[in-house]
Chain A
């Protein structure tokens, strides 16, 4: 009788589920399975959802809320912008998270989180109770700091394409429609921003597309920084070798205003730039749901977390992963990093639920590939370990490095990495 009741509570299932539920029963305060709600199905959210399921042997009930019907990767999306890949090449469905791992995927937006009563409120009206909630919404853009770009109309005309999906396709179409001899101007955002080498990669592969198809055209890289912030030597060498007369890099260009109608970028101290296709990537902040839940305590933009568990330092029981997390020295915002945050967090939550010690020495790697044309890429890598004194992830001395140059082998590995990480997240 008791066993039947337990099975009914589980909804029937395998021995693995029963085993998981037994450990779940050991959790103080409840006999039901622990429930985790994951907000956002990106590099962090999808990874967290999957790993919570596999590491708990199904003992944790996981629901992931994501508005998009499928996962579209920002990494490699620059190749779609440049016409070297299609949207389908960077799109992966969420199905296997459910079919193989039992993650409930809910297609919706989160309207709010009632952290007192532990309920996630969905825009569609329903509510999801939770024991722990993971907030991994990615980034939002600070258009409020960019006169001329405040309206929805402006933002749909001059796109960022810094969240892969419709805007990736829009920017591609704009470049296809650009006449030979046209100018593509890309405004690099101020730091910290998602994917430090990303804008330079985009400029490079678009330059390759233009060189091969519209050779009289120009690429202008307008950068608020005083120099290229990531893989600088490698990018500049590639530009000198491949794009002389096509790509021009202008540092110390702080964007102050955009004249949308006149297709002109205006800067503090520097001359205006008029272009045919403008790609304005504004300054960034944590995704809205993180900020609206009071998690973004660093300059009202980023969320402080405990780096062993990714639990918010502001609101207990709420974990923040990915780009929304407040950066610490040397820790870039990237999909690869988000995937690492997620695994650290999943291990911590599984430990907490099972009454085990939270692992106290996370170590993880980061590798970032950048294409410079259709065939060549470079990389930068690092290994980080938890520093007991600083209570942060700190680069392990002597680890990591750059590729010696841009080459075809690295491009092949970049493609292989993408296939593998998407499978790691979603298969």
Chain B
């Protein structure tokens, strides 16, 4: 599966269609991306305070926060630096993933 062409499809979905199942990256790929967040936010987003718990968090709220960090609109210590490493659709996929975790 080539990521390049899949991303084009992904961008068409990204604009507001949060609940749509991501057509591009495989489930395992998204899981792997999300596992990087676990290093600070705990396995599956089950963080210990003061790190923010992501497991079960509202997908829309999570995505809005991530996009705000990415655009530098939100006061953060580090998330603005991390969010800039991902495309908007990748952030949407991650937000959806964590919303489904327990």
Contact = CB atoms under 8 A, between A and B. Distances in A.
Given A343-B32, A347-B31, A362-B32, A399 B82 contact: yes
B33 A381 contact: no
Contacts of A388: 3-4
Given A51-B35, A357-B1, A383 B85 contact: yes
B42 interface: yes
A298 interface: no
A367 B40 CA distance: 9
Interface residues of A, number: 47
Indicate the member of A357, A381, A420, A423 with the most B CB atoms within 10 Å: A420
A385 B3 CA distance: 12
Contacts of B90: 363
Contacts, number: 121
A217 interface: no
B77 A399 contact: no
A413 B39 CA distance: 12
Chain B contact residues, majority secondary structure: helix
A410 B36 CA distance: 20
B36 A364 contact: yes
B54 to A, nearest CB: 11
Contacts of B84: 383, 396, 398-400
Interface residues of B, number: 33
B81 interface: yes
B81 A424 contact: no
Contacts of B29: 347, 359-361
B12 to A, nearest CB: 18
A420 B1 contact: no
A347 B40 CA distance: 19
B82 A383 contact: yes
Interface stretch (B14-22, B43-51, B57-65): B43-51
B78 interface: yes
Contact of A416 (B31, B33, B50): B50
Contacts of A409: 77
Nearest to A361: B3
Contacts of A340: 36, 39
B28 interface: yes
A377 B77 CA distance: 12
Given A340-B39, A363-B85, A363-B86, A347 B78 contact: no
